[in-house]
Structure 1
Amino acid sequence: MQKLFTPKRVTYSATAAAAAVATIASLWEYTGTVSADGAAEPLATKAAENMVTLTKPPRGEVPLPTDKLSCKMRASAPRNAVVLVCCGSFNPPTVMHMRMVDLAGDELMRRGYDVWGAYLSPVADAYGKPGLAPAADRVAMCRLAADDESARRSFGCSLVEEQLVHVSHTLTNPALDMTMVYEWEARQPGYTRTLTVLRRVESELKNWWSDGTRNSGAELTPAGCFPSNIDQDQAGTLAHPLMPQSKPEPPLVRAMLLCGGDVLESMAIPGVWRDPDVILREHGVVCIAREGTNLEQLINCPGSILYDFRDRIIIVYDKVGNSISSSKVRQELATGRPVRYLVPRMVLSYIYQKGLYGTSRNERI
Structure 2
Amino acid sequence: MAKDYIHENTNFEIMGGYYSPVSDHYQKEGLAPSHHRVRMGELAVERTSTWLMVDAWESLQPEYTRTALVLDHFNEEINTKRGGVMTSRGKCRHVKVLLLAGGDLIESFKTPGLWLDDDLHHILGDYGCLIVERTGADVWGFLLGHDILYQHRKNVYVIKQLIYNDISSTKVRLFVRRGMSIKYLLPNSVIKYIQANGLYDT
Equivalent-residue separation in structure 1 for 2:28 and 2:65 (angstroms): 14
**Cα 1:222/1:353, change in 2 over 3 Å:** farther
Q: Is the 8 A contact 1:332 1:339 kept in 2?
A: yes
Equivalent-residue separation in structure 2 for 1:291 and 1:147 (angstroms): 29
1:145 alignment partner, one of 29, 40, 44: 44
Opposite residue 346 of structure 1, the aligned amino acid is: S
1:320 alignment partner, one of 163, 176, 186: 163
**Equivalent position of 1:242 in the other structure:** none
Opposite residue 185 of structure 1, the aligned amino acid is: E
**Matched length:** 199
CA RMSD of aligned residues (A): 2.0
**Equivalent position of 2:103 in the other structure:** 261
Return the offset for 1:300. 2.2
* Structure 1 residues 240-293: Cα deviation after superposition (integer angstroms, max 9, x where no partner): xxxxxxxxxx52212100000011112244432112111100011001113664
Instruction: Work out whether 1:178 is the aligned partner of 2:51.
Output: yes
Q: Is the 8 A contact 2:86 2:93 kept in 1?
A: no
**Equivalent position of 2:60 in the other structure:** 187
Q: Is the 8 A contact 1:268 1:306 kept in 2?
A: no
**Equivalent position of 1:288 in the other structure:** 132
Equivalent-residue separation in structure 2 for 1:291 and 1:266 (angstroms): 15
Instruction: Report which of the two has the higher share of helix.
Output: 2
Trace 1:101-116 onto structure 2 (pairs within 5 A).
103-110=1-8, 111-116=10-15
TM-score (norm: length of structure 1): 0.51
Task: Give me the identity figure in percent.
Answer: 37
Opposite residue 127 of structure 1, the aligned amino acid is: Y
What's the secondary structure of 1:287's corresponding residue? Answer: strand
Unaligned runs of 5+ in 1: 1-102, 151-176, 213-220, 228-249, 360-365
Equivalent-residue separation in structure 2 for 1:120 and 1:346 (angstroms): 17
Trace 1:329-344 onto structure 2 (pairs within 5 A).
329-344=172-187
Opposite residue 184 of structure 1, the aligned amino acid is: W
**Equivalent position of 2:69 in the other structure:** 196
Opposite residue 209 of structure 1, the aligned amino acid is: R
What's the secondary structure of 2:160's corresponding residue? Answer: strand
TM-score (norm: length of structure 2): 0.90
Q: Is the 8 A contact 1:267 1:305 kept in 2?
A: no
Trace 1:28-177 onto structure 2 (pairs within 5 A).
103-110=1-8, 111-150=10-49, 177=50
Q: Between the two structures, name the one with larger relative contact order (CA 8 Å, sep ≥ 6).
A: 1
